[in-house]
Amino acid sequence: MTTGFFDGIDKVRYEGPDSDNPLAYRHYNPDEVILGKRMEEHLRFACAWWHSFAWEGGDPFGGLTFERPWHPQDSMANAKLKADVALEMFDILGQPFFCWHDADLRPEQGSYGENLATLDEITDYIGAGMEGRDLGCLWGTANMFSHRRWMAGASTNPDPEVFAYAAATVKGCMDATMKLGGQNYVLWGGREGYETLLNTDMGQELDHMGRFLSMVVDYKHKIGFKGTILVEPKPQEPSKHQYDYDAATCIGFLRKYGLENEVKLNLEQGHAILAGHSFEHELAVAASEGMLGSIDMNRNDYQSGWDTDQFPNNVPEVALAYYHVLKAGGFDTGGTNFDAKLRRQSIDPVDLIAGHVGGMDVCARGLKAAAAMLEDGGLEDALAGRYADWQTERGQGILASDLESLQAQVLREGLDPQPRSGRQERLENYVNRFV
């Protein structure tokens, strides 16, 4: 028996690029082998419980537009209905994974103890639903930003009791993630930052955040959680400034607290844009440090300046993103989580399916283009050529030298290095052959 929510919508299938069926995959062909691996295993798609099922369609000027049968989300019965619908959507899409916050899954019913008990109950229920399905949990996380107790931060709150509450909350969420076979555990610190420096001791708050993350890592080892701990950078929104500003900031933070070998990054397209970067910039920064863990795939409106979390629809952008993912060796425990939501006027159940179908197809197309570029090797050859002189004895000698010796060398040899073209237009034209 189904919930009937998606009545009339069949399982989405791959029909090839020429299909004009709006609910078919034209590029996402899970079994197609690319660079020796099935497409499904490359992309490792996940749906986000919060955007697809918990978000009610509100914006700062108006309330819910979606009016789903599981609203209001304040009872266990509705939480279970929501879970049933979620599982049906994963079946329709053939989604291999999902991601969640505690508050997306369980009803918000009050005390810590009550919320822990309902989280346990609903994750048992979801776990039972996963049996017999080809479905896994990509990651779980704690929502430590919505409830008013978190308004001044979770681990960076000036009140130590909030720190304790945050620790208890994350422990509960890590336990639930492990129970669902989660492959990663994510921390995104929406309120770990400040509204004004006038009331903020930044150094102390960062120390507390580092201490907290060390506790998370210790607990991971204690319970034998095999997944990866990931932090998710975002520069601001909801806070004026967030400490996990961007990939480079997070990497510096992890090194400062000795966590660089324990924690990786979950990078989001929209957050990269908010930080004034491109998505591939963030991926390249993380990859260059061996810290590329997973991605939150979406797109931002380039004009609004908000985290609009739209489904991706720009193939060239996505292709360059996957190029860096593939170059870094692809995903290990990570994957492609659609941290993406419908526009609030898209109120029909079929819109949820269409959003994901389009997003998955754009990613599949991007992946194919990225793989083709890698196989062709044009960019890698150009890169190798540009740095080739460093491979010579002379280049290595320069690197191992010192200022005085290099001054002497320049004088002795009468060095006058001639500028060489960076060939940017030729490289851009090259990329456009593939996308």
Residues designated as active site: 101, 104
Nearest residue to 42 (alpha-carbon basis) of 269, 339, 335, 365: 335
Closer by beta carbon to ligand XLS, 232 or else 361? 232
Closer by beta carbon to Ni ion, 25 or else 50? 50
User: Shortest Cβ distance from residue 423 to ligand XLS (Å)?
Assistant: 36
Neighbours of 369 (CB within 10 A): 22
Quick note: the x/- pattern for ligand XLS over 295-324, rule CB under 6 A, is -x----------x-----------------
339 binds Ni ion (CB under 5 A): yes
Closest residue to ligand XLS using C-beta atoms: 188
307 binds Ni ion (CB under 5 A): yes
Closer by beta carbon to Ni ion, 82 or else 234? 234
Quick note: the x/- pattern for ligand XLS over 101-120, rule CB under 6 A, is x-------------------
191 binds ligand XLS (CB under 6 A): no
232 binds ligand XLS (CB under 6 A): yes
Closer by beta carbon to Ni ion, 175 or else 268? 268
User: Shortest Cβ distance from residue 242 to ligand XLS (Å)?
Assistant: 10
Q: Choose which of 25, 188, 311, 331 interacts with ligand XLS (CB under 6 A).
A: 188
Nearest residue to 229 (alpha-carbon basis) of 207, 256, 254, 203: 254
Which ranges of 328-417 would DSSP assign to H, the alpha helix?
Answer: 349-376, 378-386, 393-399, 403-413
Return the sign of the alpha-carbon dihedral for residues 349, 351, 357, 359. Answer: negative
User: Shortest Cβ distance from residue 350 to ligand XLS (Å)?
Assistant: 24
Phi, psi of 264 (to 5 degrees): -120, -175
Tokens of 374: 């890698």
141 binds, among ligand XLS, Ni ion, none (CB under 5 to 8 A by kind): ligand XLS
Tokens of 356: 């994901």
Rounded alpha-carbon distances, angstroms, from residue 362 to 5, 265, 266, 357, 366: 26, 23, 20, 9, 6
Closer by beta carbon to ligand XLS, 188 or else 323? 188
The DSSP annotation for 181-246 comes to: T-SEEEE--TTSEES-GGG--HHHHHHHHHHHHHHHHHHHHHHT--SEEEE---S-SSSSEESS-S
Q: How far apart are CA 16 and CA 365, in angstroms?
A: 11
Number of residues interacting with ligand XLS: please give it, by CB under 6 A: 10
User: Shortest Cβ distance from residue 141 to ligand XLS (Å)?
Assistant: 5
Q: Choose which of 208, 234, 281, 368 interacts with ligand XLS (CB under 6 A).
A: 234
Quick note: the x/- pattern for Ni ion over 265-294, rule CB under 5 A, is ---x--------------------------
Q: Choose which of 296, 312, 357, 368 interacts with Ni ion (CB under 5 A).
A: 296
Decide if 340 contacts 307 (C-beta within 8 A).
no
Return the sign of the alpha-carbon dihedral for residues 327, 328, 333, 337. Answer: negative
Neighbours of 124 (CB within 10 A): 13
Closer by beta carbon to ligand XLS, 200 or else 294? 294
Place of tokens 């932090």: 231
339 binds ligand XLS (CB under 6 A): yes
Q: How far apart are CA 116 and CA 110, in angstroms?
A: 10
Q: How far apart are CA 141 and CA 183, in angstroms?
A: 12
What is the contact surface with ligand XLS in residues (CB under 6 A)? 101, 141, 186, 188, 232, 234, 268, 296, 307, 339
What is the contact surface with Ni ion in residues (CB under 5 A)? 268, 296, 307, 339
